[in-house]
Every structure is written in C-alpha cells, then in structure tokens.
Amino acid sequence: MPRATGPTLPDTLPGAPPRPDAVDFERVRERALGAYLGLAVGDALGATTEFMIPAEIRARHGVHQNMTGGGWLHLKPGQITDDTQMSLALGNALLEAGGMDPHCVARHYLAWMAAKPVDIGHTVRRGLVRYRALGTVEAAYSPHAAGNGGAMRNLPVVLATLGDRAAFVEWSLAQARVTHNHPEADAGTLLLGDLTRQALLLGGEAPVQTLIRTWTEAFPAFDPRRFRGETDGYVVHTARTVLHFFTNTFDFESCLVATVNQGGDADTNGALAGALAGAFYGPDAIPGRWLKRLDPNARRAIEGQVDALLERFPPCPRRAVTPAGSP
C-alpha cells in the first residue's frame, strides 16, 4: 500500500510514561465520566455553530453558550451527532469482542450508518461502504484521509487501555484506519488520545504543557502556537484548535465556549475539547445547565459504557476495601 509524504510515527510514543502507582480507580472513574460527558456536551453544543464563521456566530448568538440545538442539522437542544454516536459504537464493539477486533468495530460502525444517522463525514461513509463491499478493515492510504474522524471517536479506546500504553497505540490506529489511513490522521488520533489518557490518569496534575511540547517536537504541524483560526475537519487544524483553546482557558466552561464559538467543525472540536477538559477538570466542572439539556438516552448510554469499559478493562487494581471493625 503506497505511503505518501507526511510524518511517520516514531517507534516510541512521545510524552510522559504512565504512572500506574499514582492511579486511584475511583478518581479515574470520575474523570472518565467527565471525559465522556464532556465529549457529548461539546458535540451537542458545537453542532449549533458547525460550519459558521465567528462573525456569523456573533451576529446570531452573541456568545453561543447554551444548549439551543438548531444549526445546519436542525437539532433538538442537547441532541448529539456522529462524534458521540460513533464513540458509543466503538465502545460497544470493544465490550462485545472483549478487546480490539477491527471487524467487530467495523460492524458496529456499519450498523450505526445503516440506522441513518443525522450526520456522517465523507471519509467515514467511504470507509464503511468499502467495508460493506469488501470486508477489509483497513482503508487504503489516501491523501484526502487526513480528517479528524478517527480522532473524534477514539475515547472508548483510551478508556479501555489506560493500563497499557502499547495497546492504546495499537487499538487507536486499528479503529481509526477502518475509515482513515493517513499518517497525520494517525498522529492526531494518538496525540489527542494520549493527552486525554494522561489527564484521565493524573487529572489536573497531568503535565499537559510538557506533553504538548514533546508531541509537537515530533510533529511540529500540530503545535497549537500555529493556530490561526482554521477549524475545518483537517486533523492538524482540529488538534491545533483543541490544544489552543484548552491551554488558553482555565476551566471546562470557558474552554468549550471558546472552542465552539470559533465555528467550523465546531461539534468535533467541541467533542474533543470536551473529552480532554472533562478528563482534566472532572465531571463536576461541566455546567449543570448543559448536562440537564443533554439527550437523556445518550447520557444513560455514556454512564453505562464508562462503568462497563473500566470494569472489563481495569486501568489499575482496585484498592482493597478494609472490612469494617478491622484495625
């Protein structure tokens, strides 16, 4: 399969090694919930401003900061789109197969497409049509496959591989390449997944700036200092946008509001910023007015899947509970 220009993945993943000794199961569970609810909230919030430019958003909404639905897809307030739905499909595939089986993942993606989702990206559709026709689980390399579709749905893999960094890399690439085969798509999926992974393990202690520096030394294009407001679905622009707003804000709400008011691919940018910020700041940082409006079926599915993934793929040993009355 031809591999054209673009960065190749390093042998070892840049960034800090995981610190399983510093991991507390209950804290990780909380942060995992924060990340997944953050993903869905960012998706639903951003869908309103998808494909708009900042001036249009200002003219129509002032500052877009409430779950109003609408947008080009005419959504209900709190309605989620492909970003959250494909994540749930991936998580269900991991649970069904008990690990990474790309055929199982592709079948779940295909079932999602067959149910006529409200939105689907071009590269995703092309990849799933190929799987349906040929049964191959890896898309052929395409210079047009550097989109953010693999990155946007990768959170369940991150949650299922918290205890195993090699599996994180392998499973992330396996699920992403069902539809996207491009070195930048690979790198963006791993970069955003790795940052979220470290935030899940270490919360607000995660050395985000160091990680971003290390990652962008290996992949300079992703450096958020190069952010110039481009918010199309190109994974390099997606990563820059998410990292720019995450590193220039100080809480979950301001990170998400800034991200979605940039418009463009606002639902995916919102979803990825929401997952990272939700892991970093925790679920209590997500504004209640957003959670209240979030589609209740999506919320239930997320809560169930977080517990199921962490139960099936434990990030660390659970602490022994000291029996009552013991010294």
**CB of 84 or CB of 161, closer to Mg ion:** 84
| Count of chain residues binding Mg ion (CB under 5 A) | 4
Tell me, residue by residue from 37 to 76, as one string, x for binding to Mg ion by CB under 5 A and - for no binding.
Answer: ----------------------------------------
Q: Which two tokens stand for residue 220?
A: 């300079």
CA of 102: how far to CAs of 1, 134, 141, in Å? 19, 14, 17
Q: Which CB atom, from 73 or from 97, has the smaller least distance to Mg ion?
A: 73
Distance, CA of 256 to chain centre: 14
Residue 253 binding Mg ion, by CB under 5 A: no
Nearer Cβ to Mg ion (83/184): 83
In angstroms, what is the minimal distance from the CB of 121 to Mg ion?
8
83 in contact with Mg ion (CB under 5 A): yes
Minimum CB–partner distance for residue 83 and Mg ion (Å):
5
Shortest distance in whole angstroms from residue 268 CB to Mg ion: 6
* Cα-based distances in Å from 229 to 22, 37, 149, 256: 37, 26, 20, 15
| Stretch of residues binding Mg ion (CB under 5 A), selected from 20-28, 78-86, 291-299, 316-324 | 78-86
Q: What is the closest distance, in whole angstroms, from the C-beta atom of residue 82 to Mg ion in the complex?
A: 4
Positions in 258-287 near Mg ion (CB under 5 A): 267
DSSP assignments along 18-29, one per residue: P-GGG--HHHHH
- Which residue from 82, 138, 184, 253 is in contact with Mg ion, where contact means CB under 5 A? 82
Name the residue with tokens 């220009």: 5
As a three-state string, the secondary structure of 168-196 is HHHHHHHHHCCCCCCHHHHHHHHHHHHHH
Q: Which position's Cβ is nearest Mg ion?
A: 81
> Least CB distance from residue 267 to Mg ion, whole Å?
4
Minimal CA–CA distance to 87: which of 133, 49, 35?
35
| 221 closest CA partner among 253, 186, 196 | 186
Q: Is there binding between residue 81 and Mg ion (CB under 5 A)? A: yes
Token digits for 264? 């463009």
Site for Mg ion, rule CB under 5 A: 81-83, 267
